[in-house]
Amino acid sequence: MAKGADVIGKSFTTLLTSITACSVLWLAGCSDSDPEATSVESTVSQADVSIFAGCYTVSFDEPAQIKVSEQNGKWVMQMKEPASSGRVWDDPEVLEVVDNEEIPRFFSIDPDNVDAVIARPDRVLVLAHVKPAYANIDPLLDSEYLSYIYRGANTIYRVECDEVNTDILADPHANIVIDNVDESI
C-alpha cells in the first residue's frame, strides 16, 4: 500500500505543478496592459538611431555630403560647405526620431522593414535605415539607407567622413533645376 500511496503522491504533485504553471501562464497573458495602447514616446525611444552616425552621399563615386552625429546628447546633421566658406561642414541642425507610423508619408516601404527613422523637424530631410535582411532581398534597394529630401525619396550611401570641401559650383549636376512636382501637372 505504501507503494501505491507513493505513486498517487507523485501524480498529485505533478498535477499540482502543472496546474500552477498553467495558472501562471494564464495570468501573465491576462495583464491589464493593452499592446495597442503603446505610446508614441515608447515606440520612438526604442529605435536605435546610432545606426545613422556617419557620412552619406547620393552616389558611390562622390565625397560625403551629409554628416550625422551625436553632439551634446542630441542627433544632428551637417551639410558640406564649399571651399569659399572657410569651413568644411555647416552649422549642426537638430534631428528628431520619427515614429514608424510616419514612414508611409516619405517612403514606399512597409514600416516593419525599417529599423529607425530620423528627420529634421521641418521634414525636408528624412533618413531611414532598412533592415539588412530586407535590403538584401529587395531588388530596388542597393543600400540600407533611404533619404527623403524635399519631396523625393531614394537610396543614399554611407561613406567615410572626410574633411575636404566640396565645390558645389564645379559639379556638373549643380545646373539641374528641380521643378515643383505638383505645378508641372
One DSSP character per residue, 2-36 reads: HHHHHHHHHHHHHHHHHHHHHHHHHHHHT-S--GG
Q: With CA atoms as reference, report the closest residue to 110 among 133, 86, 134.
A: 134
pLDDT at 94 over 80: yes
Q: With CA atoms as reference, report the closest residue to 54 among 167, 164, 157.
A: 157
Q: Which residue has the higher pLDDT, 167 or 10?
A: 167
Type and span of the H or E element at 133: helix 132-137
CB 166 within 8 A of CB 80: yes
Q: Given pLDDT bands bounded at 50, 70 and 90, which one contains residue 167? A: low
CB 57 within 8 A of CB 127: no
Domain assignment of residue 125, yes or no: yes
Q: Given pLDDT bands bounded at 50, 70 and 90, which one contains residue 76? A: very high
Domain total in the chain: 1
Domain assignment of residue 38, yes or no: no
Q: Which residue has the higher pLDDT, 98 or 41?
A: 98
Domain assignment of residue 144, yes or no: yes
Q: Given pLDDT bands bounded at 50, 70 and 90, which one contains residue 171? A: low
Q: What is the mean pLDDT of residues 59-87?
A: 89
CB 144 within 8 A of CB 52: no
Domain assignment of residue 120, yes or no: yes
Domain assignment of residue 27, yes or no: no
Domain assignment of residue 146, yes or no: yes
Cell of 92: 549642426
For residue 43, the 8-state DSSP code is H
Type and span of the H or E element at 148: strand 145-149
**Amino acid 168: pLDDT:** 57
**Amino acid 155: pLDDT:** 86
pLDDT tens column, 19-29: 444 343 343 44
CB 75 within 8 A of CB 68: yes
Q: Could you tell me the residue range of the domain that residue 70 belongs to?
A: 48-165
Q: Residue 128 pairs with which residues in a beta bridge?
A: 117, 146
Q: Given pLDDT bands bounded at 50, 70 and 90, which one contains residue 176? A: very low
Domain assignment of residue 154, yes or no: yes
Q: Given pLDDT bands bounded at 50, 70 and 90, which one contains residue 16? A: very low
User: Could you tell me what percent of the chain has a pLDDT over 90?
Assistant: 39
CB 130 within 8 A of CB 146: yes
SS3 178: coil
Domain assignment of residue 143, yes or no: yes
SS3 84: helix
